[in-house]
Amino acid sequence: MRTLQPDDLRELYRFLLLTRGLEERLDRLFKQGKIVGGLYRSLGQEATAIGTAYALRDADWLAPSIRDMGATLVRGLPAVEVLIQYMARDSRFTHGKDNSIHLTDRERGLVGPISPLGTQLCVLNGVALAFKLRGEDRVCMTYQGEGASRTGSSHEGMALAAAGDLPIVIVLEHNRWAFGTRSNREAAVRDWADVGKAYGLPIHSIDGNNVLEAYGAAREAVERARSGGGPSLIVAETYRMLGHAQHDAQEYVLQQELEEWRARDPIARYERLLVTGEIAAEEDLGAVRDSVDRELDEAVEVALATPTPDPETAVTDVYDEATDPRGHPWTRREIIGYPDLQVRH
Amino acid sequence: MKETTYLEAIREAMLEEMREDETVFILGEDIGAYGGAFKVTEGFLDEFGSDRVIDTPISEAAIVGAAIGAAHMGFKPIAEMQFIDFIAPAFDMIVNFAAKNRYRTGVGAGIVIRGPCGGGAHAGPFHSQNVESYFANVAGLKMVAPATAYDAKGLLRSAIRDPDPVLYFEHKFLYRRVKEMLPTDEEIVVPIGVARTHRPGTDVTVVTYGAMLYRAAEAAERLAQEGVELELIDLRSLRPLDIETIVESIKKTGRVLILHEAARFGGFAGEITAQICEEAFEWLDAPVRRVTALDTPVPYSPPLEDYYLPQVDDIVTAARWLLAY
């Protein structure tokens, strides 16, 4: 088990800034009409994804949900790839075929979400099963909001993970809102940790706005999974500070509640901790901010210069081969064409 | 040569693939100690152990999801649906995750989802369905529906080896009724996407698949006594669809009847009809006819189910109508 060193503490800070800074740039691009489709922010809950993902090794696999962009950056996904993806350009991993925040990258062990949430847990169970069958000491981590945890696949996934003793860590992010529905209308539980009890999962309840607490719980859960102790559930208490997506002005949220949670902003809190703990001076933090800003500004330039995909590639990668056994392309455009009637008479 | 039932052919395909390839494993409900609801996997647990014959909770989404994830890591999982009707709870995983996996990531989810389909066993609305048209409109999926023991074996081997998701519909009515002499000294592999002419004929083309092949064969026997020769095409694969074989047959007969056991409205015959109209209209001497089950759920009581399912008389009547047109 690895204890965090000062370098790690600074690195966590960099990921927090990178995540927020990248989303701020995405917000700007959205307002400029450069983003295709929705923009899903993780403002206020960045610490959970970053702290937990930081507990993994490179060989492990992770399935982020829509507010876990920070976890993908921790896995090494370059910010520019996220920008390209959000602008529906010819991205390296989906080539413009899948949506914005569906960040999938095999090389980094990332299984991106699909829009019906809760499903990833079922798939990551299979990855974890593969690790277990091969006797590898690799683990999986996956995320879901308390909203997604209401789906049948989430419950089926938790049941199978527990029954199969699979090396997987499930992070439940209780951010209070499933789109426009408050979490007390999603379940009768007061404590969302109760969700894991039915499955006999070891449970870690954490302050999701504290990056070090997220890391600490994940480290224990990951270690348990790696050493054959099976799955765990981490329940992170946090708050979605913006609407479901950019189109949602969250008029249903009380301003007072937002103010209360704003005071618990994970980045401001972590900065205070770094300074008071003498891990970093104010000017060190400023230097990190400047370097992140430069990195992100360059990434935006590169992304804006990236072309959109060639329209004809819409028909590739539906099936493995370019043709079916009779020699037809799998997806035929000319099937919609019209035969030359002259020839037929 | 060895006499082999349809069910044994399915067993043997899995046994042989599992013996040859350590990455093949099966997961599903009651497939281990119990040996599967129809005993398809009887003895598998003893031979391969619980790592490769995995009993799961009653959680079809979790079963298919785990298969997809294991496929990500290089395994070739076979997910058994205890009855194909129970594929419904896994619809999301199949349609939204498995089918789109290659499109959105560049890597296919090479899994097989197999299960007993079809009626005739008086098993009622939830143990008798044919689900192909629920999935027919989903790019990224392949679908096969063998009628013979040879094809049951050969298509399953191909499905297991296929790098994309394959839905394998095995007809429960055929499990122990179909017996064939299968060669033991050759590897039986049937390519996905190629139909087979079951009985050559000159007068009417019958396009069918699954258990209805045998009803069509009975109708052909009866009509042959009147000097009418049906040409029976067993599709074997539904997606990709071998439209060439159908069109070639229509060029010969000029008349076509599509026979399937699933209900009529939105049934798979509709797609076949559309393709025939686009590609063989000039060769038709009569309208395309469909012989299908009725547009109701599958009824339970034997007289009701018989009324619901296409019968030999229905095929004979349709063929005579086509000839008289």
pLDDT in tens, B59-85: 999 999 999 999 999 999 999 999 999
Query: pLDDT tens, A119-138?
Result: 999 999 999 999 999 999 99
- Closest CA in chain A for residue B283: A344
Of B152, B182, B212, the residue at which a domain comes to its end is: B182
- Among B65, B164, B282, beta carbon nearest to A126: B65
Contact list in A for residue B154 (CB cut-off 8 A) is none
- How far is B28 from chain A, CA to nearest CA, in Å? 12
Question: Average pLDDT for residues A242-262, to the nearest whole number?
Answer: 94
Chain A residues within an 8 Å CB radius of B70: 126-127, 129-130, 133
Contact map slice: A 103-142 vs B, CB within 8 A: 104, 106, 111-112, 114-116, 119, 121-131, 133-134
* Cβ pair B71:A126 closer than 8 A: yes
* CA nearest to B98 within chain A: A123
The answer to whether residues B164 and B277 belong to one domain is no
The H or E element that residue B125 is part of is: none
Q: How far is A200 from chain B (nearest CA, A)?
A: 15
> Which among B72, B122, B127, B260 is annotated as catalytic?
B127
Query: What pLDDT band is residue A344 in, cutting at 50, 70 and 90?
Result: very low
Shortest distance, CA A161 to any CA of chain B (angstroms): 9
Q: Which of A106, A134, A165, A324 would best serve as a mutation to test chain B binding (most B beta carbons within 10 A)?
A: A324
CB-CB: which of B61, B72, B162 is closest to A156? B61
pLDDT digits (tens, 9 = 90+) for A32-90: 999 999 999 999 999 999 999 999 999 999 999 999 999 999 999 999 999 999 999 99
B176 and B208 in a single domain? The answer is no
Percent of chain B predicted with pLDDT > 70:
100
Of A158, A143, A174, the closest CA to residue A70 belongs to: A143
- Count of domains for chain B: 2
Return the SS3 of A313: helix
To probe the interface with B, which of A91, A123, A317 has the most B CB atoms within 10 Å? A123
Q: How far apart are CA B89 and CA B286, in angstroms?
A: 41
Q: Do A319 and B25 touch (CB under 8 A)?
A: no
Give the one of A98, A320, A326 whose C-beta lies nearest to B104's C-beta.
A98
Residues of B in contact with A90 (CB under 8 A): none
- In this prediction, residue A325 carries a pLDDT of 81
Whether residues B255 and B156 fall in one domain: no
**CA dihedral sign, ordered B231, B237, B239, B241:** negative
Q: Find the CB nearest B96 among A106, A116, A320.
A: A116
Mutate to test the interface with A, among B25, B73, B112 (most CBs of A within 10 A): B73
Q: Band the pLDDT of A339: cuts 50, 70, 90.
A: low
Tell which residue, A311, A91, A107, has the closest CA to residue A99: A91
- Among candidate residues A323, A333, A337, the one with its CA nearest the CA of residue B240: A323
Query: In chain B, whose CA is at the least distance from the CA of A129?
Result: B70
Interval B231-250 mean pLDDT: 97
pLDDT, residue A100, reads 85
Beta strands in A146-231 (DSSP E): 168-174, 177-178, 181-182, 203-207
Is B189 inside any structural domain?
A: no
Domain presence at residue B226: yes
Nearest-angstrom CA–CA distance, B257 and B267: 14
Partners of B89 on chain A (C-beta within 8 Å) are 152
DSSP state string for A241-253: -S-SSTT---TTS
Same domain, B222 and B274: yes
- One domain, residues B202 and B132: no
List the single residue in A122, A128, A335 with the smallest CB-CB distance to B62: A122
Q: Evaluate whether residue B312 is within a structural domain.
A: yes
Contact yes or no for B243/B279 (Cβ under 8 A): yes
- Confidence check: pLDDT of A342 > 80: no
Same domain, B18 and B152: yes
pTM summary value: 0.95
Q: Does A241 touch chain B if contact means CB atoms closer than 8 Å?
A: no
Assess whether B246 and B172 both reside in one domain.
no
What residue in B sits closest to A119 (Cα-Cα)?
B93
Strands of the sheet with A168-174, listed across from one edge:
A61-63, A140-145, A168-174, A232-237, A203-207
- DSSP letter at A55 equals T
Domain of B268: which CATH number?
3.40.50.920
What mean pLDDT, rounded, does chain B reach? 97
Q: Which two tokens stand for residue B68?
A: 């997809």
A120: closest CA of chain B, how far (Å): 8
Distance, in Å, from the CA atom of A215 to the CA atom of A78, rounded to the nearest integer, reads 21
Is residue B244 exposed (0-12), middle (13-18) or buried (19+ Cβ within 10 Å)?
A: middle
**Residue A337 clears pLDDT 80, i.e. is over it:** no
pLDDT at A330: 73
Distance from CA of B325 to the nearest CA of A (A): 24
Give the separation between CA A171 and CA A153, rounded to whole angstroms: 15
Domains in chain A (CATH in brackets) are: 6-311 (3.40.50.970)
Please report whether residue B191 resides in a domain: no
Give the model's confidence band at A156: pLDDT under 50 very low, under 70 low, under 90 confident, else very high. very high
Which of B132, B154, B182 is the last residue before a domain boundary?
A: B182
Q: For residues B204 and B304, state if they share a domain.
A: yes
Q: What is the mean pLDDT of chain A?
A: 93
**How many angstroms separate the CA of residue B223 from the nearest CA in chain A?**
32
Asked if the Cβ–Cβ distance from B61 to A153 is below 8 Å, we say: yes
Query: Which domain covers residue B152, as residue numbers?
Result: 2-182
Q: How far apart are CA A61 and CA A120, in angstroms?
A: 12
Distance from CA of B74 to the nearest CA of A (A): 8
- Does residue A341 have a pLDDT over 90? no
DSSP of B71-126, one letter per residue? HHTT-EEEEEPSSGGGGGGGHHIIIIIITTHHHHHS-----EEEEEE--SS---TT
Is B285 contained in some domain?
yes
Which of A128, A319, A326 shows the shortest C-beta gap to B164? A319
Mean pLDDT of B138-158: 97
Q: Is residue B188 part of a domain?
A: no
CB within 8 Å: A325 and B282:
no
pLDDT digits (tens, 9 = 90+) for B159-190: 999 999 999 999 999 999 999 999 999 999 99
Q: Do A127 and B73 touch (CB under 8 A)?
A: yes
Per residue in B98-121, pLDDT (tens digit) is 999 999 999 999 999 999 999 999
Give the distance from residue A173's alpha carbon to the nearest chain B alpha carbon, in angstroms: 21
Cβ contact (<8 Å) for B69 and A130?
Answer: yes
| A122–B64 CB contact, under 8 Å | yes
- Asked whether the predicted pLDDT for residue A335 surpasses 60, the reply is no
For position A157, what pLDDT does the model report?
Answer: 98
Confidence check: pLDDT of B21 > 50: yes
Note the pLDDT of residue A305.
97
| Mutation target vs B (from A120, A139, A318, A328; most B CBs, 10 A cutoff) | A318
- d(CA A296, CA A78) in angstroms, rounded, equals 10
The closest CB to that of A319, out of B92, B106, B140, belongs to B140
Q: Are residues B266 and B310 in the same domain?
A: yes
Return the structure tokens found at A90: 């010819």
Confidence of residue A329 (pLDDT cuts 50, 70, 90): confident
Q: In whole angstroms, what is the distance from residue A43 CA to residue A265 CA? A: 9
Task: Tell me: do B133 and B234 sit in the same domain.
Answer: no
Tell me: do B23 and B58 sit in the same domain: yes
Does the beta-carbon distance from B57 to A159 stay under 8 Å?
yes
pLDDT at A92 over 90: no
B127 is catalytic: yes
Neighboring chain A residues of B280 at a CB cutoff of 8 Å: none
Tell me how crowded residue B301 is: count the other CB atoms within 10 A of its CB: 10
Domain termination site, one of B182, B215, B238: B182
Residue A2 has pLDDT above 70, yes or no: no
Do B98 and B52 belong to one domain?
yes
Domain CATH number, residue B119: 3.40.50.970
Report yes or no on B187 lying in a domain: no
Is residue B146 assigned to a domain? yes
Helix axes of A266-276 and A282-304: crossing angle, nearest 10 degrees: 140
| Chain A with chain B: Cβ pairs closer than 8 A | 153
B13: nearest Cα among B189, B169, B237: B189
